[in-house]
Structure 1
């Protein structure tokens, strides 16, 4: 509301992002407000499964899942793809090392605070109550010497469905959900119809499938065999739907545009004679 504030750039939950956007715009300010996410990773039958599992291990569990570009939903296309993914994912998760920030061999650390730990554990229980299969339960994880720490082990759900609240909402923790799709079209609809449209990835060796997916998916940032679609800051960054409010993205040239204003200057310099007189009157050309 302060009159000397001309622009607001915000990152947080979608409800607060929407509120900040509405209030800022009502006050005549330029606003970019980035909200929540539920990023999906589509795994086609021809994908390199070892690479997929390696990418998911970092994208789903890195930073304990507490980042807007985490990849908490994986969508294998076809039952065979789902079974192969699950078979390889379980031992890969068991090999992840959870530790403190000074542990150079740790893959990720604790939740940011006890409240967030309790919130994530609540979502895990919610998934169980909704009927999803909890394949790996990270609750109850204890790190020797840090028993009071806010740690949660990597967790994996299978047979998650789109009507579950745990699928609809952002968990923001080290929890990976498997949503099985029968075919490409069904897989395409999942991220396109979700309330969030931040990032999405497709894993495939098929160039046609990748191009078709990238062109049609209703999500703001797309990765092709890249688990985090915007890996460096000079790329434009911004999602669609309830993941972003405002008409300019962050970072890159979009960010430059947000923090600057266009000034258009039109000039005329009379071409006078040596004695100070003017030549013929200047005539503005018209479109003929």
Structure 2
């Protein structure tokens, strides 16, 4: 009998919902569990639990909230192997990569441990005669995160770590494709000392998402997913008066200058393009060598490196990457490979039809390389989100800057070079939110901030770091004066607009 993954509301599992979704084991190609697909009534249960717990948690001083985060960090680290294996079994990424998923989320939890410092406001003594001005950051109330399948640990922790540390109550709606780890993370947060009702997990599809977008008590929403859905989330959420940050798709470019260390570039591209089966919004699926000599030399090194990649089941310690998440996504990736070939791309390495002995039903796609891809190809313009690397040759540096700058997505970009001037010029001019210089996946550290431009991000505030603190809080500014008791009640100045002169 298949296990059923329930909601986690008010500190315990909650079994509700007639509709259920299938959770696969991507390595086997078989259903391993079902997940409840909740309704607006289930969301209301979570909101009620959050409302009951919120006043006490918001009134808890930041230092005590930070202690819960310290406890939580230790618990997640103690359960790392269990969490990684559970994550790998539902997502398909190999266990080592799953541990990286969890660790990058923990880095934001570490940042949240310093929330007493991050919440400090500003203070001006003597802004006017006997007048002081200061500000404070206060929690918004009940907030929500809607997270994707590709990072079922990292992205939820990016969101709820900072939000909860700031004093909010949080409702998490994870992907229904791999929902077990988010529930387990919530259970560990309860074990760390978080009051029941402050972190709730509700499962569902569009019905649940729309209920979240329309609920009057939910003050802010953070989303990561495809760009079309990100735009929908942002538009409907803001129309309902909510604060929204919605991050979408990507088509990140890796610019390879003629002076680059090609051996290092090949090593970096192998991991950045094919790691996690390419199911990363910060993957590097487009490589742009500058000049045909650079392109030819790079291709000569890339082909044997790609052909040497080991694709395996998620528990294979020797595998470089595992299967994609489900059969529908496998078909989507393979359809894009055919599209690129039909458009005129040279299919150098074809990953379609890959099978693994003993796991013939698994959702595997082999590593794929295209050369001579053109900017007008649909397969270049859209996100493939699979283990497919496209080579777009650029004749010069100006073209290399223009390609990512003019693309509809603007999440991340990298340049590989030994030339400091070229790197500095590229970083300053490229129209993309996150830039790597000889760094293939430029995801910033937790105390900086994460966010893309153009159709990769909707909203004005990025994730985690101090931007995250700003997103999950509202600023209150106080202007104070303590009279000496000799004020003249009839002073006409009291009827004028106050100034600090």
Q: TM-score, normalised by structure 2?
A: 0.55
Matched, 1:227 2:440: yes
Which of 332, 338, 346 does residue 133 from structure 1 map onto?
A: 346
Following superposition, the deviation at residue 234 of structure 1 comes to 3.0
Unaligned runs of 5+ in 1: 273-277
Residue in structure 2 matched with residue 172 of structure 1 by the alignment = 385
Residue in structure 2 matched with residue 107 of structure 1 by the alignment = 320
| Structure-1 separation of matches of 2:357 and 2:339 | 28
Residue in structure 2 matched with residue 156 of structure 1 by the alignment = 369
Greater per-residue strand proportion: 2
- SS of equivalent to 1:6: strand
8 Å CA contact 2:444, 2:450 repeated in 1 = no
Matched, 1:254 2:467: yes
Unaligned runs of 5+ in 2: 1-213
| Structure-1 separation of matches of 2:316 and 2:401 | 39
- Compare relative contact order (CA 8 Å, sep 6+) and give the higher one, 1 or 2: 1
Alignment deviations for residues 121-144 of structure 1 (CA, whole Å, 9 cap, x no partner): 000000110010000000111111
Report the more deviating stretch, 224-233 or 189-198: 224-233
Following superposition, the deviation at residue 56 of structure 1 comes to 0.4
Which of 37, 59, 64 does residue 272 from structure 2 map onto?
A: 59
Matched, 1:76 2:283: no
Residue in structure 1 matched with residue 406 of structure 2 by the alignment = 193
| Structure-1 separation of matches of 2:444 and 2:416 | 16
Residue in structure 1 matched with residue 476 of structure 2 by the alignment = 263
Moved over 6 A (4+): 279-284
Residue in structure 2 matched with residue 17 of structure 1 by the alignment = 230
Residue in structure 2 matched with residue 145 of structure 1 by the alignment = 358
| Structure-2 separation of matches of 1:191 and 1:168 | 10
| Structure-2 separation of matches of 1:162 and 1:18 | 24
Alignment deviations for residues 138-190 of structure 1 (CA, whole Å, 9 cap, x no partner): 01111111111000110000000011000000000000000000000011100
Residue in structure 1 matched with residue 300 of structure 2 by the alignment = 87
Change (3 A) 1:27 1:147: same
Residue in structure 2 matched with residue 213 of structure 1 by the alignment = 426
| Structure-1 separation of matches of 2:255 and 2:405 | 12
- SS of equivalent to 2:477: coil
| Structure-2 separation of matches of 1:286 and 1:20 | 43
Greater per-residue helix proportion: 2
8 Å CA contact 2:248, 2:456 repeated in 1 = yes
Alignment deviations for residues 19-74 of structure 1 (CA, whole Å, 9 cap, x no partner): 11011111111000000000000000000000000000000000000010000000
| Structure-2 separation of matches of 1:280 and 1:214 | 60
Which of 232, 241, 245 does residue 454 from structure 2 map onto?
A: 241
Matched, 1:202 2:409: no
Following superposition, the deviation at residue 232 of structure 1 comes to 3.2
- SS of equivalent to 1:20: helix
| Structure-2 separation of matches of 1:140 and 1:233 | 39
- SS of equivalent to 1:91: helix
Residue in structure 2 matched with residue 275 of structure 1 by the alignment = none
8 Å CA contact 2:348, 2:368 repeated in 1 = yes
Q: TM-score, normalised by structure 1?
A: 0.95
Following superposition, the deviation at residue 8 of structure 1 comes to 0.7
| Structure-2 separation of matches of 1:219 and 1:95 | 32
| Structure-1 separation of matches of 2:296 and 2:445 | 33
| Structure-1 separation of matches of 2:408 and 2:402 | 12
| Structure-2 separation of matches of 1:29 and 1:165 | 34
Which of 227, 245, 250 does residue 32 from structure 1 map onto?
A: 245
Report the more deviating stretch, 192-201 or 100-109: 100-109
Following superposition, the deviation at residue 235 of structure 1 comes to 2.6
What is the CA RMSD across the aligned residues, in angstroms?
A: 1.4
Alignment deviations for residues 95-116 of structure 1 (CA, whole Å, 9 cap, x no partner): 1111111111111100100000
